[in-house]
Amino acid sequence: RLNKPTEGVRSFSTCPRLQAVMQAWVIDHYGDNSVFRFTKNAAFPSILYPNEVIVQVHAAALNPLDVNMRGGYGAATMAMKRDPLNINKSGSEFPLILGRDVSGVIMECGLDVAYFKPGDQVWAAIPPWKQGSLSEFVVLSANEVSHKPKSLSHTDAVSIPYVAATAWSALVNTASLNKDNCSKKRILILGGSGGVGTFAIQLLKSWGGHVTVTCSQNAEGLVRSLGADEVVDYSSGSVERKLSAKDKFDVVLDNVGGETEKWASALLRPWSGAKYVTLVTPFLRNTDRLGLADGMMQNFVTIATKAVKHLRTGVHYRWGFFSPSGSALDDVSEMVDAGKIRPVVEKTFSFSQVPQAMEKVEQGHARGKIVVTVV
């Protein structure tokens, strides 16, 4: 993945680089699904840094984050990431393009990009402060991009990057799990039937972990087909009681949040380094509500208080976050091509149906991913 200086910007021969506009679904202000606007005049992305690439989007996928961002979630933190010196006036993020997953073809590479060349088939999870994939082209840092699995179409591949990068960050970086230490571990996934859960089950099973999953009764067949060892229906009876009757766990990955946080850490094996990692955190809500400085202070106080409280009971409490990583996706790509991980696509929509696709995500009860074909 070393980037070596090359002789110049390299473009795909058919690259429409000179065209200044492209088709995209944009929003001009935050709100409900009616804010979506299709345009043929969205600004064509430019390479501003030598390590960037332009990708022609073949397929995009949606996540709960897209629905939340459409409503303004995380706006304060994203504004800071886009414009750290606070030079631009408020609202400068519009027209905003959502969509965090991309599978497509490299059209153009910056001067320092050596790992990719125009024409390469790639996939990526796009950081939320960047313009997204509900468009014909997207610009990314090369270190966020990876060669897509050869065995998958763009439509199937695109269901994986964002949930894979999130699960990888939470399980590998935060919970310290990896292919060499998973075999004797008992892992509980709260909320196994959605995007993150269906990926996390497969990753952990391919590393030899013992995986218990909570989901609705009608998702049991799906999570079992992905390898879950034990499945607990949360929709009838007390899920806490059912899980308490089982052996203690080494890691809990919480994709549900809310009430679960009150009891789930008690399911961990105490004084053994066991970790509770939740993906449902108040981090961005605090900065939205209190502003950046006070919000970050509130976040620090909350996480520190909870971490200390849990340490007293012999377990570790952590917040997990999405983290873009081309190299993690390289590993995932190999696992997909080796048949260890498969895409779980619930429904595919055409590019003209983006509002309907978003509505489907908003309805919840996901069984894998919602995909949008662009080309």
Rule CB under 6 A: is residue 365 a binding residue for ligand NDP? yes
Please tell me the distance from the alpha carbon of residue 274 to that of residue 297, in angstroms, as a whole number.
Answer: 27
Instruction: Indicate which single residue of 27, 163, 171, 277 sits in contact with ligand NDP (rule: CB under 6 A).
Output: 163
Do the beta carbons of residue 33 and residue 362 sit within 8 Å?
Answer: yes
Residue 197 binds to ligand NDP (criterion: CB under 6 A): yes
Query: Between 79 and 279, whose beta carbon lies closer to ligand NDP?
Result: 279
Site for ligand NDP contains 215 (CB under 6 A): yes
Residues found in the chain? 375
| Minimum CB–partner distance for residue 182 and ligand NDP (Å) | 20
Site string for ligand NDP, 28-67 (x = CB under 6 A): -----------------------------------xxx--
* Residue 204 binds ligand NDP, judged by CB under 6 A: no
194 is an interface residue for ligand NDP by CB under 6 A:
yes
Cβ within 8 Å of residue 18, ≥6 positions away: none
For 243-264, the three-class secondary structure string (H helix, E strand, C coil) is: HHCCCCECEEEECCCCCHHHHH
Instruction: Examine residue 263 and tell whether it contacts ligand NDP (CB under 6 A).
Output: no
Size of the site for ligand NDP (CB under 6 A): 27
CA distance 102 to 242: 39
Comparing CB distances to ligand NDP, the nearer of 155 and 193 is 193
Q: According to CB under 6 A, which one of 115, 234, 249, 317 is a site residue for ligand NDP?
A: 234
The pattern of x and - marking residues 102 through 141 that bind ligand NDP according to CB under 6 A reads: ----------------------------------------
Burial group, residue 132, by CB count within 10 angstroms (0-12, 13-18, 19+): buried
**Sole window of 31-39, 101-109, 189-197, 325-333 interacting with ligand NDP (rule: CB under 6 A):** 189-197
- What is each CA distance from 7 to 42, 50, 114, 224, 309, in whole angstroms? 30, 12, 10, 51, 56
User: How far apart are the C-alpha atoms of 264 and 252, rounded to whole Å?
Assistant: 7
Q: Does 193 bind ligand NDP (CB under 6 A)?
A: yes
Pair 253, 200: CB distance under 8 Å: yes
Distance CA 202, CA 121 (A): 24
Beta strands in 99-202 (DSSP E): 101-109, 121-125, 137-141, 145-147, 186-190
Under the criterion CB under 6 A, does residue 221 sit at the interface with ligand NDP?
no
Among 280, 290, 292, 296, binds ligand NDP (CB under 6 A): 280
- Interaction between residue 322 and ligand NDP (CB under 6 A): yes
Closer to ligand NDP at the Cβ: 155 or 214?
214
